[in-house]
Amino acid sequence: MAASSTDGVLPIDKPAGPTSHDIVARARKALGIRRIGHTGTLDPFASGLLLLCIGRATRLAEYLTGLPKTYEATLRLGVRTDTDDLTGAVVSESDAWQTLSREAIEEALLELRGTYDQVPPAYSARKVGGERAYRIARAGATPELEPAEVRVYDLEVTRVALPEVDFTVRCSAGTYIRAIARDAGERLGVGAHLSALRRTSIGEFGVAQALPADSLEDEVARAAAFVSPVDAVAHLPQLDVVDDDALDIRHGRTIAAPSGLHGTVAITSAGALLAIGESDGSVIRPRKVFADD
């Protein structure tokens, strides 16, 4: 990728409090760059990994947003809120959580593993008739949200200190952890809401390697956390090209696909990202060319 040293992905460890947009705004100021986006928001009360795509690497965002995500979460039994998290208004309370066993709690949560249709929270960014669900809810109406398929690859209860329950979850993009807390509470018959959330990974990106948000102004720390464009798409099949193939890709022309190579491909040359292409098994068509962009 014939790009400047500011083109790439910057993993950030967002603290609880600021919005994802606040972090982007702070990064724009710290780096002096306007072209910065992220690959999936975290609610203000949540902390953890936020991937910032910087400069021309903003064009890579779509290849990162769909990666599986891992969270550490806490739910609070016995209290339902209208947002399904601690920021909402309480809609019902129950003391019946006092009679629950750890076994019953684990069973209710573990039943939420696998692939199933999840109803998004009423206060979510999902659209209903072209309008955001949270806008409908704030207006006092109940949005009629359609269930969406999610995949919960793994879920483990790590602590039970009633009425709180800690759990970790690895899931597909688009899964609402608030909805997992809500649904577990409903299965147990006592209600629940999400009281804490921390995202620890997105694909192979881990929060341990992320830059703390309060170090955004530290140029040395930023450089240590920075991920190059080619490394940012290391999860994609990669094809290195030279000579005529590299020239054809640079000019947006197709090249022959190696045997067995299908789908989205990261095309590299001389150790840099040259393009993202799509292979039909016969030819590779450049979809996004970065050289001389």
Please list the active-site residues: 43
3-state SS of 240-279 is ECCHHHHHHHHCCCCEECCCCCEEEEEEEECCEEEEEEEE
Q: How far is CA 122 from CA 109, 119, 126, 137, in A?
A: 21, 9, 9, 6
Orientation angle between helical segments 102-110 and 177-188, nearest 10 degrees: 130
- Name the residue among 204, 166, 217, 267 with its Cα closest to residue 49: 204
Residue 162 CB coordination number (10 Å):
15
Residue 139 CA to residue 73 CA, distance in Å, equals 29
Structure tokens at 267: 């095309």
